Structure 1
């Protein structure tokens, strides 16, 4: 199946053909329109990256480059958050950010400029008989056993639920 993926920046070195898992996000480019008393109105751009597995939102600097990949369905994590919840999370995040920058009596009017369902690539590979996971956007490596809580270790990091 064809899906949009966030352009990978990092890839494991010395691993010829690592496998991967695709982690779901919904990306929004929003415009916030603020009315202000006695001053000119303000318009702000906001980019929200909503995690469709844990319902978190991050602010981005722009709309990340997306590529289309043809992948097997089994390599895609199913989202646990539906579109409406993701949209509301993006709006909530944008309003919180915008209100910290603009003084206004009114909530902003919000317009969706662009949006896309996209997946972040997590590389899966083995090094020195240890199974590892690498975030393709920041290059951080995690032990798969630590992430899944297997191997007698306590689960640490962003993958624990």
Structure 2
């Protein structure tokens, strides 16, 4: 399967595997009308996480590569395009309203949007499995990421 991947910056030394994590990336233009002043146009780059429905602002559109990968290396999104677009708009408006004073919400235009994947490297160090974010280089023990917390059962809380 051929997919777009955000250019990895960090990679662990030695042998490693990877998992691809889904994002929608948006380049938006915000058009603000202002009373008694000239209108303003702002560029906004949103990276929308398709698992947690969070949006991060970027400085630009990250460089993308195309990789041929097996489907079992790809995490499928659980957020659809419309939800991701609305999250990107919400994030852009919030950011823009901190920069521009206007009586109106901005008109938003999508300049470019693409679904791409962030690479997470899976590797072993000292006999233990780790996961590394390819964009910031932070590593986490896999068992810490997959630990399930025990919650009280319904029986103990007398639920109906």
TM-score, normalized by length of structure 1?
0.91
Structure 1 regions of 5+ residues with no counterpart?
A: 153-161
Question: Deviation at 1:127?
Answer: 1.1
Residues 2-151 of structure 1 mapped to structure 2, 5 A cutoff: 2-13=2-13, 15-16=14-15, 18-149=16-147
**Size of the alignment, in residue pairs?**
149
Task: For residue 27 of structure 2, give the secondary structure of its aligned residue in structure 1.
Answer: strand
**Any runs of at least 4 consecutive aligned residues in structure 1 with deviations exceeding 2 A, and if so which?**
none
User: What is the CA RMSD across the aligned residues, in angstroms?
Assistant: 1.0
* Unpaired runs of at least 5, structure 2: 150-160
Q: Distance in 2 between matches of 1:54 and 1:80?
A: 9
Q: CA separation in 2, counterparts of 1:149 and 1:72?
A: 27
Report the TM-score when normalising by structure 2: 0.91
Q: Computing the radius of gyration over CA atoms, which structure comes out larger, 1 or 2?
A: 2
Q: Secondary structure at the match of 2:42?
A: strand
